Structure 1
Amino acid sequence: MFGNMKKSKNAAVKKPDFQKGLTAFDAEDYATAVAHWLPLAERGNNEAQYRMGQLYARGLGVVRDFGDAAYWFRKAAEQGNPDAQFSLALCYANGEGAQQDSALPVRWYKTVAKANPVAADANLALLYPNGLGVGQDIAQAVHWYSQAAERGHAEAQHHMGLLHAFGQGVPQDHGVAAGWYRKAAEQGNAAAQHALASLYANGHGVERDMEQAIAWYERAAGQGFVNAQLALAVIFEHGTGVPADPARAADCYRQAAEQGHAVAQVNLGLLYARGHGVPQDYRETLKWCRLSADKGNVNAQFNLGLIHANGLAGQVDHAEAAVWYRKAAMQGNVGAQVNLGLMLAHGWGGRPELVEGIDWLRKAAAQGHTGAMINMAMLYAAADKANNPTQAYVWYIMAAAASQPGPDREGLEAKAHELGNRLSSEERHKAQVLMEEWKKDPKRVAMA
């Protein structure tokens, strides 16, 4: 129940000293920090009150209790301590105290309270003298964020920007948000610099100005703010408002990728695949896509499937390709569903798994993939594959309906017509029922 604290030879102190408490805190001697700060907090020292709030919020040297944390934050906040005001605002914004709902004393209280409310309340007061925390109250959060922000607290200014940008507790107003972001950004707050840059990039609350956007993104990126690094990379890759600069894009992607950003990793890998801004090198593509795919990035998983299926970074390896296609397909990637379906249906790299292959093609068809529909039609039409003329007829018609007018569509319609002439009236009726069911809810039918 106690925080990780190093043993102190003598936690009691004769004369409390804030600086000595700070030295003890830095040395992870939290008991001594409490011994110095608590008496000062009780005497009204707002910095000690704020520090006691931190200790209770983190459970360092004391039992973790958001109620006590909020109590001390409020004491300091009411004296104008901006750090305490910001922390108290966070308590109200997040409804701190909810994390204690699973704690043993709280579970005990909820059980005993039903039988003996008076005794339960008395015991609860001993366990948590200042309550279980504070409930979520966005109005109170806005109040305390505002107090701290007006006193120049950069994080509070950033949060005020967020509240106005998303209309939480205040009317949505991107112009006001930009003002708060700017105040925090000028103090070096990287998150606010990124947010302000995004407003300039999109023209929200300010005139669209890519020069300003890039300038603020660069300031945030220079502090290692990964989303700003990614934003700059995308701007320079696609030439959004500036001339495209693949080399600079690659550099920005690399900065973010080296911090573990999954999107930056796969995008850097794809630059290597195309040889844009970097030498073409599929081994680098494989490396960066693998790092991203291991984090669950579906685009990276699909591209790993392509690399292994086509032997772009070594030997063709259908088994490894199937592993990554399957991961992406299970996340709904339509290209992976088609490629995995075809691999299984045709037995590329192993024996055919026709039923599962068609199942993946059906899932892709449910997302409107015309190629999946055509391939199912061909598999059902082939005598050595699924061999089901009714299903083949259905999928040629469905593929034709999903195609643009032209020779390809006419070819699909001709195949459907040819198959239809061979079907009995009963088979035609069955085909019509199948198509109607599919049109009503393709995803449900695909999953059946």
Structure 2
Amino acid sequence: MFGKLLKRSKSTGSRKPDFQRGLAAFEAEDYAAAVADWLPLAERGHAEAQYRMGQLYARGQGVVRDFGDAAHWFRKAAEQGHTEARFSLALCYANGEGAAQESALPVRWYKTVSKTNPAAAEANLALLYPNGLGIGPDIAQALHWYRLAAEAGHAEAQHHIGLLHAFGQGVPQDHAVAAEWYRKSAEQGYAVAQHALASLYANGQGVERDIEQALAWYERAAEQGFVNAQLALAIVYEHGTGVEADPARAAAFYRQAAEQGHPVAQVNLGLLYARGQGVPKDYRETLKWCRLSAEQGNVNAQFNLGLIHSNGLTGSPDYAEAAVWYRKAAMQGNVGAQVNLGLLLAHGWGGRPELVEGVDWLRKAAAQGHSGAMSNLGALYATRDSKAYNPIQAYVWYIMAAASTQPGPEREGLEAKAHELGAGLTSEDRHKAQVIMEEWKKNPKLMVTG
């Protein structure tokens, strides 16, 4: 927007617009000067200038960012056969970029003014936003412009058509057609499409399952530094999926992806160091890579950091630090972290006991069906010198723990404890326990804070 309202300085007002001069200004990051040269050319039908103006509006460089105007100029260039503009216009339609958002300032302004003076609102909207507030998602239009760009050899457009067919967006889902488009793009060296095609071969979707082809395309993408392909290769070689397991090769690919900051690759590389698979066993390296992953929010890395600190794998145990990481993982629903944090708090390891919170975390884990959490709750409630002592609750949790455990000595031990507790309960207490268990079966989450 505002492109037609820009005022040219006296020094440039009489100059003849020059595309190359605008390009030089753009490369020097003097976007206003680029607009001064490109806008007049765009208005006269210069396709490349139209495309460039679309980019400036999309990025908010030299003009106020506005996807409506971006789409306007992309369309002008696209209708003249500009391949990149066709692709960019397709992206606008696919993503609905520039579509009016309820919270956007111009939308709120327009709705407010139109209530009192509709005519004035429409007039001002046309003045300030001559090309509208944007375009809504339109997959059919997106596919039309993608196809025109793809048929002209645009690799990204070919990949995007493949995506639409793979996920059935605007077209029937068809992995075979997706594979054809991915291949066209992949053969031009587009790493994202190479990875997508490899995934189809790995899973036998739209093509016959072929691990050799999958590896070949993954490797071509990985060689270009595509992190998801590096991760895929690492997983294949770690687990020996269709190939002989090769921990050293897995570690090498994990490292490539981890050094690019991929959180899953970071934690997996750390775990290889913990096991000494493909790399020397070194918990300090495990700590390093798990911390990098955990700081990005990876729940498995957070749980493993808790284990490292609570077990003192790189020094003395640090329960306070362990609690920090267990809590982060527990809040994301990691059941192991919920159990370990619950026990740490309930028993006061590394500090004073936080019984209420500890029990609450154990109940959350029990609500996910964790038998260990149930048996630990039984033990807490059964301990006479504990502030949590409650024989009815102990009886309940031992019974439920036994029911969640496979037949064998462990289950028999839990049943024996429940029987011993039950023998000391009154018939009224056993009835209360039965009610609690029936409520549990209806909705385990109700027991979390009960």
Give the TM-score normalised by structure 2.
0.95
What is the distance in 2 between the residues matched to 1:405 and 1:314? 39
- What does residue 115 of structure 1 align with? 116
Q: In structure 2, do the counterparts of structure 1 residues 117 and 230 end up closer, same or farther at CA, with 3 Å as the change threshold?
A: same
Deviations 1:87-116 (A, max 9, x none): 111111111223765454442222111111
Report 1:224-235 matches (<5 A): 224-235=225-236
Question: In structure 2, how many angstroms separate the alpha carbons of the residues matched to 1:272 and 1:301?
Answer: 16
Letter of the 2:191 counterpart: A
Residue equivalent to 2:99? 98
Q: How does 1:123-162 map to 2 (within 5 A)?
A: 123-162=124-163
Aligned twin of 1:67:
68
Where does residue 405 of structure 2 map in the other structure? 403
Q: Is the 8 A contact 1:237 1:245 kept in 2?
A: yes
Superposition pairs for residues 40-55 of structure 1, below 5 Å? Answer: 40-55=41-56
Quote the Cα distance in structure 2 between the aligned partners of 1:138 and 1:180. Answer: 17
Match in the other structure for 1:312: 313
3-state SS of 1:125 partner: helix
* Contact kept in structure 2, 1:11 and 1:31, CA below 8 Å: no
Alignment correspondent of 2:295: 294
Contact kept in structure 2, 1:12 and 1:32, CA below 8 Å: no
What are the superposed Cα offsets for residues 356-379 of structure 1, whole Å, 9 maximum, x if unpaired? 222111111111111111111111
CA displacement 1:312-335 (0-9 Å, x = unmatched): 111111111111111111111111
1:169 and 1:70 map into 2 onto residues whose CA distance is 20
Q: What one-letter code is carried by the residue in structure 1 that aligns with 2:142? A: A
Of residues 384, 391, 394 in structure 1, which corresponds to 2:393? Answer: 391
Deviation at 1:447, TM superposition (A): 4.0
Matched residues in 1 for 2:203 and 2:434: separation?
A: 48
* 8 Å contact kept, 1:272–1:281: yes
What is aligned with 1:412? 414
d(CA) in 2 for partners of 1:364, 1:114: 53
Q: Which residue of 2 aligns with 1:25?
A: 26
**Quick one: structure 1 residues 25 and 100, their matched pair in 2 at CA, closer, same or farther if it must change by over 3 Å?**
farther
Q: Any conservation in 1 of the 2:100–2:107 contact (CA below 8 Å)?
A: no
Q: The residue matched to 1:28 in structure 2 has which SS?
A: coil
1:437 paired to 2:443: no
Change (3 A) 1:104 1:260: same
Gaps of 5+ in 2: none
Aligned length: 445
Superposed CA deviations along residues 337-372 of structure 1, whole A, max 9, x for unmatched, are: 111111112221122222222211111111111111
The residue type equivalent to 2:275 in the other structure is: R
CA apart distance, 1:270: 0.5
SS at match of 2:448: helix
User: Which runs of 5 or more structure 1 residues have no equivalent in the other structure?
Assistant: none
Q: Who is 2:430 aligned against?
A: 428
Report deviation, 1:120: 0.8
- In angstroms, what is the RMSD of aligned CA positions? 1.8
Which AA in structure 1 matches 2:31? Y
Give the corresponding residue for 2:360.
359
Residues 346, 359 of structure 2: 8 Å contact kept = yes
Q: Is the 8 A contact 1:2 1:61 kept in 2?
A: no
Say if 2:2 and 2:129, in contact at 8 Å, map to a contact too: no
Contact 1:8 1:32 (C-alpha < 8 Å) held by counterparts: no
CA distance in 2, matches of 1:55, 1:345: 59
Letter in 2 for 1:202: N
CA 1:380–1:100: 2 relative to 1, 3 Å: closer
Does the 8 A contact of 2:147 with 2:161 survive in 1?
A: yes
Tell me the TM-score normalized by structure 1.
0.96
1:340–1:360 Cα contact (<8 Å) kept: yes
2:184 is the alignment partner of 1:183: yes
Q: Within 2, Cα distance between the matches of 1:32 and 1:161?
A: 39
Q: Quick check: 107-116 or 14-23, which moved more?
A: 14-23
Q: 1:323 to 1:360 in 2, by over 3 A?
A: same
The answer to whether structure 1 residue 337 and structure 2 residue 335 are counterparts is no
Change (3 A) 1:76 1:269: same
Q: Retained in 2: the 8 A contact 1:379–1:387?
A: yes
Residue pairs, 1:226-245, within 5 angstroms: 226-245=227-246
The structural deviation recorded for 1:21 is: 1.6
Residues 95 and 11 (structure 1 numbering): CA distance in 2 closer, same or farther, change over 3 Å? farther
Give the deviation of 1:47 after TM superposition: 1.3
User: In the superposition, relative to structure 1, how do residues 76 and 105 fare at CA in structure 2: closer, same or farther (>3 Å)?
Assistant: same
Deviations 1:193-222 (A, max 9, x none): 110111111111011111111111111111
Matched residue type, 2:332: Q
Task: Note closer, same or farther for the CA distance 1:368–1:285 as it changes in structure 2 (3 Å cut).
Answer: same
SS in 2 for 1:411: helix
Give the direction of change, closer, same or farther, for the CA distance of 1:13–1:444 in structure 2 (3 Å limit): farther
Give secondary structure in 2 for the equivalent of 1:383. Answer: coil
Tell me the distance in 2 between the aligned counterparts of 1:9 and 1:350.
73
Return the alpha-carbon distance in structure 2 between the equivalents of residues 366 and 59 of structure 1: 50
SS in 2 for 1:98: coil
CA contact under 8 A between 2:99 and 2:137: conserved in structure 1? Answer: no
- Structure 1 segments, 4+ long, off by >3 Å, are 7-13, 98-106
Cα displacement (A) at 1:406: 2.2
- Find out whether 1:267 has 2:268 as its counterpart: yes
- For the 8 Å contact 1:381–1:392, the answer to whether it is kept is yes
Question: Counterparts of 1:38 and 1:2 in 2: how far apart (Å)?
Answer: 11
For residues 191 and 231 of structure 1, the distance between their equivalents in structure 2, rounded to whole angstroms, comes to 13
Q: Identical aligned pairs, as a percentage? A: 81
Shift in alpha-carbon separation, 1:154–1:111, aligned structure 2, 3 A: same
Instruction: Give the match's secondary structure for 1:79.
Output: coil
Which amino acid letter does the alignment assign opposite residue 444 of structure 1?
A: L
Structure 1 residue 407: deviation in Å?
Answer: 2.4
